[in-house]
């Protein structure tokens, strides 16, 4: 493939030109497009806006379960049989303390996520109080809240209380949405983003890849988020939680396809914070670090109900690739002394055929 194609992708993105559908489809599916030059083209765009910086987010699952919605991908949905730990809303002090911990661990954004269909006035009033407490202690730190559907008035109240970002993921395209949820619509979600935008809040919204969608659905979501000028875009990869209705479509959740998807989101949303989100460790495997070339953000400490890599492992991955984090804290100090140690082989590993009596260890092993 002529290298001019890759440089043209980066040039068009940096010039603010929106790629056409055939080009977007090629990025996702054309095997003749090599992944390394494609990643490099996306990296040129990422570097222009964010340099070598990685923005770290930490989630607080402020309320778990008891949700009336049937989102098929979610362990908290009423349709899920996942064995999760259910609890009501955490106390103000518990959420404030988690904010302190998040910022002390290098997070640039603290994200509070609440289960449920929508933000009632009582919840908004409670959030306003919590937001005021956090902002009084950390005035320069970002706070993001995910609390279901929000009206224009509710979004305005949260903005006035100090909220920086409102999260509400589109998750998939409008055409495919009925396949993953029946208790609300794509339009309901889009309206919440528009309410956040009208209130002057930053918009955090993304999708979940691997729910059986077509390439056209992924392209559509990336375009929708460009249209609403989403400042933060988490690209989630369906996590295979036992008990949920959906399981990953293994045919398209390969590391190569995931990296292509991240590149597509970068080209179509050049100045947005693209986050390689849930499932990155599980699906990207040995190529996880490559996601930092199109993406400039990730989660630390796992996700809502699924665990992730340890903090030290993730931070070390960032440093080893030559990146830094957006934080007043030193990356080396955050990694600390948790350095990997060499493991010595045991005698059984060194001498697998050593005789024990009249038989070797190998011969003593049960037949498979």
Residue in 46, 55, 67, 123 annotated catalytic = 67
Cβ neighbour number for residue 355 with a 10 Å cutoff: 10
326 with 57: CB under 8 angstroms? no
Residue in 24, 26, 46, 111 annotated catalytic = 111
Catalytic annotation present for 275: yes
Residue in 71, 109, 181, 263 annotated catalytic = 71
d(CA 110, CA 254): 30
Structure tokens at 36: 């390394």
Catalytic annotation present for 71: yes
Catalytic annotation present for 24: no
Catalytic annotation present for 181: no
**Under 8 Å CB-to-CB from 46, ≥6 apart: which residues?**
266, 274, 293, 294, 295, 296
Residue in 46, 224, 275, 316 annotated catalytic = 275
Catalytic annotation present for 67: yes
Return phi, psi of residue 367, to 5°.
Answer: -65, 145
Residue in 24, 181, 204, 263 annotated catalytic = 204
Residue in 24, 144, 181, 263 annotated catalytic = 144
Q: Hey, which residues are catalytic here?
A: 67, 71, 74, 111, 144, 204, 275
């Amino acid at each position: 493939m002529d290298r001019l194609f890759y440089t043209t992708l980066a040039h068009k993105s940096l010039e603010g030109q929106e790629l056409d559908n055939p080009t977007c489809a090629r990025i996702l599916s054309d095997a003749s497009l090599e992944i390394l030059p494609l990643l490099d083209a996306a990296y040129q765009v990422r570097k222009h806006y964010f340099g070598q910086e990685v923005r770290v987010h930490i989630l607080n699952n402020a309320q778990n379960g008891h949700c009336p919605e049937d989102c098929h991908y979610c362990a908290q949905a009423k349709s899920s049989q996942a064995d999760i730990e259910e609890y009501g809303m955490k106390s103000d002090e518990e959420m404030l303390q988690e904010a302190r911990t998040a910022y002390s661990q290098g997070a640039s954004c603290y994200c509070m996520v609440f289960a449920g269909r929508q933000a009632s006035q009582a919840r908004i009033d409670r959030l306003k109080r919590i937001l005021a407490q956090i902002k009084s202690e950390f005035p320069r730190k970002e706070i993001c809240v995910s609390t279901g559907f929000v009206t224009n008035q509710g979004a305005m109240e949260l903005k006035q209380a100090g909220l920086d970002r409102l999260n509400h993921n589109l998750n998939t395209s409008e055409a495919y949405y009925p396949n993953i949820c029946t208790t609300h619509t794509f339009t309901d979600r889009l309206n919440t983003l528009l309410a956040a935008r009208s209130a002057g809040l930053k918009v955090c919204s993304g999708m979940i890849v691997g729910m059986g969608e077509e390439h056209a659905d992924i392209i559509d979501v990336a375009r929708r988020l460009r249209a609403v000028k989403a400042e933060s875009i988490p690209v989630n990869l369906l996590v295979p939680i036992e008990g949920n209705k959906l399981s990953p479509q293994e045919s398209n959740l390969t590391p190569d396809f995931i990296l292509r998807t991240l590149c597509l989101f970068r080209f179509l949303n050049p100045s947005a914070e693209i986050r390689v989100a849930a499932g990155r460790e599980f699906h990207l495997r040995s190529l996880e670090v490559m996601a930092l070339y199109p993406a400039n953000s990730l989660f630390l400490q796992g996700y809502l109900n699924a665990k992730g890599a340890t903090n030290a492992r993730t931070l070390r991955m960032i440093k080893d690739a030559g990146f830094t984090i957006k934080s007043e804290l030193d990356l080396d100090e955050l990694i600390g002394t948790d350095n990997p140690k060499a493991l010595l082989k045991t005698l059984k590993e060194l001498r697998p055929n050593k005789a024990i009596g009249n038989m070797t260890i190998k011969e003593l092993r049960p037949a498979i």
